[in-house]
Amino acid sequence: MIKTVEAIVDEKGNVKLLEQVRLGVPRRALVTILDETPAARVSETALLSEAALGEDWNRTEEDEAWSHLQRVP
């Protein structure tokens, strides 16, 4: 099995995988160091729920319910 997994290598050389990997036995791995800073990680759950929550958040009833928290200049 060959699998590519994103990871971050810190300034001390410690490797942190950004997703969980389960193997039945120890395996060899290759680490490729990219010449760029890590991108900000966005929760997959947040991305998947954005559309559904957006429907509720963009309703007139929601605007009315939270209107008392909005500043008036």
User: What pLDDT shows up at residue 29?
Assistant: 92
| CA-wise closest residue to 24 among 54, 46, 1 | 1
Domain boundaries, position 32: 7-69
* 30 token code pair: 């290759």
Which band of pLDDT confidence, cut at 50, 70 and 90, is reported for residue 73? Answer: low
Question: 2-36, pLDDT tens digit by residue?
Answer: 889 889 898 999 999 988 999 999 999 998 988 88
Asked whether residue 15 is assigned to any structural domain, the reply reads: yes
Segment 23-72, tens digit of pLDDT: 999 999 998 988 888 777 777 787 788 888 888 888 888 888 888 887 77
3-state helix, strand, coil in the chain (%, to 5): 35, 10, 60
Count: domains in the chain: 1
In a domain, 2, yes or no: no
Q: Could you give the C-alpha distances from 29 to 9, 24, 50, 58, 72, in angstroms and in order?
A: 14, 14, 35, 47, 57
Q: Is residue 52 part of a domain?
A: yes
Q: Report the distance separating Cα 57 and Cα 63, nearest Å.
A: 8
